[in-house]
Amino acid sequence: MFEEPAAWGAAISFFAMLVSAAFAFFAGNAAKQSLKNQDKLVRMERFRLEQEQRERVRSWGDAVVGAMQAAIDCAEIPQDDGIRESARIELAGKLSEFTDRGRWLFENVNDTRHENWKEGAFQGFRPKVLDTVVAAIRLVRPNERHEALDKRALIDTKRRFVSEIQELVKPSLAQAELDQLAEE
């Protein structure tokens, strides 16, 4: 059929071009798939890092909620008992500690005009989540008038705190992100 060397050369060149086009097509698809896989790996790593941060916030929030609940329970201790005052002092100290630990998770909104004379972590405006812990401290800390603990105010403060933590942890968003990654 192909008796002339030029015809053979043309056929071989044509066949080589088809093989090269096929390899280019498959290489392009492999590169495209590799990019998709790399993109998914990046999204999975980002999700993992976000989950680690969510877990740190949740763990800190667990401890704060425990202290707030202890303060609510402290309101049931008879006021004339000296145990209540020492429990209040201890709980106020614990909540103060949690406020400072919370600063490692949530920075103040920096405003050079507000409290710029304070140390760096205390300049600017506190995030709402820390404001609720400070509010609990103010409710719990014993004062010179020996006022009773306001159980209702403590419950309301704890509820605000739980809502703030839920907004930060976003459990439904985390689940939606996980579901989306699993579908891919």
pLDDT per residue over 100-150, tens digit each? Answer: 999 889 887 776 665 665 665 666 678 899 999 999 999 998 876 667 789
pTM as predicted: 0.69
- How crowded is the C-beta side of 163, counted as CA atoms within 13 Å? 9
Which of 15-29, 58-72, 94-108 has the weakest average pLDDT? 15-29
**Percentage with pLDDT > 70 across the chain:** 79
Tokens representing 147?
Answer: 């006022």
Q: How confident is the model at residue 170 (pLDDT cuts 50, 70, 90)?
A: confident
Distance CA(161)–CA(67), nearest Å, equals 12
